[in-house]
Structure formats: structure tokens, C-alpha cells
Structure 1
Amino acid sequence: MKKEEIINAFLKVVPVLKDMLLDDIAVSVADTTKVLYYRAGDTLDIKVNVGDKLSPGEPLYEAIKDGKTYSSTISKEFYGVPFKGVSYPIKDSDGNVIGGVGIGKSLSNEIKVEEASENLFASLEETSASIEEISAGSEKLLNVITNILEITKQAKKQIEESNQIIAMITNLASKSNLLGLNASIEAARSGEYGKGFSVVANEIRKLAQLSNQSSEKVSQSLSETNKYIRNIFKVISDAQSISEGQAASTQEMTATLEEITASAQTLTEISKTK
């Protein structure tokens, strides 16, 4: 094929590359001295015009001069969009370079995917740390609850002892009433000379002493019960603090999950544009 035919063949194929590849690419075709065709991408425009002379240092110029394919990645500082460029020399049937094709592919989506993936990974790490914190808090809460149960058992035991003592006092009071009744009857029978009244009176005093001792025991038992109850309140307060900490961790985890959702949505939107 003649030089012109080969160049014309490329000029017919290159314009439809963008539509065929369904990607954001800029393409150009040149002979050995100037640009013959240029089409910008959706966002990528390297500011080339048909008829522009090729200059030393330009990738397409170097590819044509050296007869080699060159590729490079260009940052967004130059054209506003990061892209990967490939410059390919066109050769005739004898291997002589007669021109070149330049293709620039925008890397915007790839960078977005990379950034979204990095954010997703960081968010997952934060979520993992939050879950570990919640797990540790749950273990502490379990220990607190166990302590509550143990203290509650002790308080229950103290209350049971108090009930036994109260029952004792009730029984003693009943006996005191009965003896008092007997003393009254005896006194009625014997008048002021009744000796039995003295015995009954002594028994009543003994029972009164026992009642006093029992009351003291009740007081001590109730005091112990009150102490255990205070301990229960303290433990419950600690449990509340832990629960509040867990709630804060849960809120942080929720915020992190929202970031994960946003990143996933970004990835989904990008995949739909591919």
C-alpha cells in the first residue's frame, strides 16, 4: 500500500475508536511533520489542532522519529485531567515510518476507584476497631452484671436473716403478751401478796432483753443490707457508664458505615459509566 493509502486507512479507523472503546479518550493522527486529525475526549483535551507542527520532545514526534512505541502517564496539572498516553509509529510495508497515532486515555475514573477503595479500606479498619471496642465493652459489661448478681445474692441473704430475726421478735412479743396476761390474772387472784406475779414479771423482763438484743441484730442486719444496696447502685452506675461508652462507639461505627456506603455508591456509579 502506498503511504497515502495507509494514512487514509488510519484516518478512517481512528475517528470511531472512541465510540468503539466506550471510553474517555483523545486521539490524533499525524504524518511525519504535522497533525492530520484530532478528536478530544469527553473530559480530556490536550489542545491539539489539525495542522499543528510536531515538535521535538512531544511523545508523538519522538515515536515517529525513533520508530518506537512510547507510553507515559501525565498528571492532571498539565491538562486538568490525568491520563495515560500512547504514541504509536505508522510504518509502510517496507518498515519506513510514515506517520503516527497518539491516544490519550483519561485516568479520572481509575483514580476515583483507587481513592474510593482506599477510603473503603480505611473505613473498614475503623469499623473493625470499633467492633473490637464494643466487644471489649460487652465483656466488661458481662463482668459487671455478674458482680451485680453476686451482690444481689448477698443482699437477699441478709434480707432473709432480717426476716428470721423479725419473726423471732414477733414470737417474743406474742409470748410477752401471754405472760403479761397471766401476770394480770395471777395478780388478781393473789392481790398484793401474790408471789407468782414476781416470777412472771422477771420472765417478762428477760423477754424484753431478748427483744432488745433481737432489735440490735435487726439493726445490724439492715445496715449490712443497706451497704450491699449501695454497692449495687455503684455497680449499676459503672454499667451505665460502660453502656454510654458503647453507645458512643456505636455512633462512631454508624458514621463509618455511612462512609462505606458513600464509597460503595461512588464505585457503583463509576462502574455504570464503564
Structure 2
Amino acid sequence: MENGIISSLKSILPILGELIQEDVSTCITDREKCIAVFINDKVPVAFKEGDKVPKDNPLFIAMEKNRVFSAVVPKEAYGIDFKAIAYPIRDSNGKVIGAVGLGKSLDKQARIENSAKNLFTSLGQTNGAIEEIAGGSQKLSNVINGILSAANDTNEKINETDSIITSIQSIASQSNLLALNAAIEASRAGDAGKGFSVVAQEMRKLSQNSSESSKKVMSSLIEMKKSIDAIVNQVNEANAVAENHAAATEEMNATIDEITTISKTLVDETKNL
């Protein structure tokens, strides 16, 4: 008389693949031979009713060890890679009277694993590119800071020059006033003051030329200062953009690292399917 467990298995195994939504082939054995086989086309196990159970078969090992046993069967054996899982069937007294086996296709697992590996590799390359961008952003920020420092130093020098030009203008103004007073005094001295009058006139011309030249220099310095201020403003804007860019790449890099960790976990998990 057929064991009740075996009868139940014969009823459920034909629809097992549909229930678990997997490509599986199943079989039932007694202690010596296969007594029922349910083959899925995608797991074409060459095992039929009446075949003896080889000693190296997971079904035989499960019965001998009286416990569940699993092994990956390479494609060299049946043309595809699949995972074989065998479980001993026991009677009401706990005696092993047979085994139930399941062959699960690893094709889907292999595709997932390959996709995960490709994703992992792509993320690694992307991460490297982002790190290069981040390094470039840092270099750009350093260059911009150098330009800002040089521009600020130039502004300070211009301010110092402003002070010097102002002093020159003051001296020129005083010299012009002294030359004017000297010319008046020379005029009062008559013939005796003619020589001094010539000197006073030349001194006045020199002071006037100095004043005009200092005004031109001052005007040029003012325009230069305006240009430098404009450059500083533009560089500050560029620096803000570079800092935002660096922050964005850091955030992106952190996200890529997280995705990389997840993809690595996915690769590891698919190996355990």
C-alpha cells in the first residue's frame, strides 16, 4: 500500500512550479528507484520512473544522511545549471522510506547575478569618474581662491598708490603756490630778481605738470580698481558655482557608494539563491 505522504506528494508536485512561480522538475523515489517524475521543459533532468537512484545523487545522500541535502548540478551533466534539493520521506515511525527531489533552474539567478555584477562594475567606473570631477572641482576652487587673493592684494596696492598720488598732488599744489609767490617777489625785485623769476616759472610749470600727471594716474587707477572689483565679483560668482558643484558631486558620490553597496549585496545574495 502506498504511503500517504507519497500520495500527497504525487498530487502536489505536478503544480508546484505554478504555485511557486519557478521552473522546477520534481521526482519521488523509494529507497532504491524513482517511482514518479514531473519534468519541466526548462529543467530537462534525464530521470524517469524505474531508474535506480545513483549513490552520488542528492536523493540517495538525503536518504542516507536522513536530512535535507542540496547541490548545484553543472550544465555538463544535463545541459543546464540547476540546483538539486532532496528531502527524505519518513513513515510514521520515522524510518526513511524514500525521498522527494526538486531541480530548480539557475538560469534566472545567473541573469540576475550577471546584471548585478555589470551594475557593480558600471557603478565602480561611475564612482571613479565622479571622484575625478570632484578632484577637478577642488582644483578649480583652489585656482579661484588664488585669483581672489591676487585681486585683493592688487586692490590693496592700488589703495596704497592712491595715498601716494594724493601726497604728490598736495606737494604739487604747494609747489605751485610757492612758485607763484616767488614770481611775485621776483617781480618786485626788478632786474635783480629776473634770474629768480625764471626759476620760479620753471618750478610752476613742473608743479602743474606733476599735478596733471598725478590726476591722469589717479584716473587710470580708479578705472583699474573698477575693473578689478568687477573681476572679483565674477570670480566670487564662479567660486560659488564651483563650491555648489563640489557639494553636488560629493552628494552624488555618497549616493553612488550606497548604490554600489546595495549592488554588491545583491551579487552576494544571488549566490545564495
Query: Shorter-chain TM-score category?
Result: 0.5 to 0.7
1:155 maps to 154
Which of 74, 99, 110 does residue 72 from structure 2 map onto? 74
The amino acid across from 2:72 in the alignment is: I
2:198 maps to 201
Is the 8 Å Cα contact of residues 24 and 105 (structure 1) preserved in structure 2?
yes
1:55 maps to 54
Deviation at 1:51, TM superposition (A): 4.2
Deviation at 1:159, TM superposition (A): 1.7
Q: For each residue in 1:192-212, what CA deviation from the matched residue of structure 2 results, as whole angstroms up to 9, or x when unmatched?
A: x64444334323444638967
Aligned-partner Cα distance in 2 for 1:47–1:91: 25
Aligned-partner Cα distance in 2 for 1:22–1:131: 43
The amino acid across from 1:199 in the alignment is: F
Is the 8 Å Cα contact of residues 73 and 82 (structure 1) preserved in structure 2?
no
User: Number of residues paired by the alignment?
Assistant: 240
2:29 maps to 30
1:20 maps to 19
Aligned-partner Cα distance in 2 for 1:84–1:35: 19
The correspondence of residues 95-110 of structure 1 with structure 2, limited to 5 A, is 95=94, 97-108=96-107
Aligned-partner Cα distance in 1 for 2:93–2:256: 62
The correspondence of residues 201-240 of structure 1 with structure 2, limited to 5 A, is 201-206=198-203, 208=206
Distance verdict in 2 for CA 1:205–1:43, change over 3 Å: farther
Structure 2 residue runs without a partner (length 5+):
none
Is the 8 Å Cα contact of residues 123 and 259 (structure 1) preserved in structure 2?
no
The correspondence of residues 248-267 of structure 1 with structure 2, limited to 5 A, is 257=256, 260=259
Aligned-partner Cα distance in 1 for 2:203–2:5: 131
Deviation at 1:29, TM superposition (A): 1.6
Deviation at 1:163, TM superposition (A): 3.5
The amino acid across from 2:66 in the alignment is: K
Is the 8 Å Cα contact of residues 34 and 54 (structure 1) preserved in structure 2?
yes
The amino acid across from 1:116 in the alignment is: A
- Choose 111-120 or 141-150, whichever is displaced more: 111-120
Distance verdict in 2 for CA 1:76–1:197, change over 3 Å: farther
1:46 maps to 45
Normalising by structure 2, we get a TM-score of 0.56
Aligned-partner Cα distance in 2 for 1:257–1:118: 14
Aligned-partner Cα distance in 2 for 1:148–1:177: 45
1:87 maps to 86
Aligned-partner Cα distance in 2 for 1:169–1:159: 15
Aligned-partner Cα distance in 2 for 1:20–1:156: 80
The amino acid across from 1:134 in the alignment is: A
Aligned-partner Cα distance in 2 for 1:57–1:68: 15
The amino acid across from 1:15 in the alignment is: P
2:116 maps to 116
2:134 maps to 134
Percent identity, aligned pairs only, is 29
Aligned-partner Cα distance in 2 for 1:195–1:75: 129
Aligned-partner Cα distance in 2 for 1:200–1:113: 104
The amino acid across from 1:154 in the alignment is: D
2:9 maps to 10
Is the 8 Å Cα contact of residues 62 and 99 (structure 2) preserved in structure 1?
yes
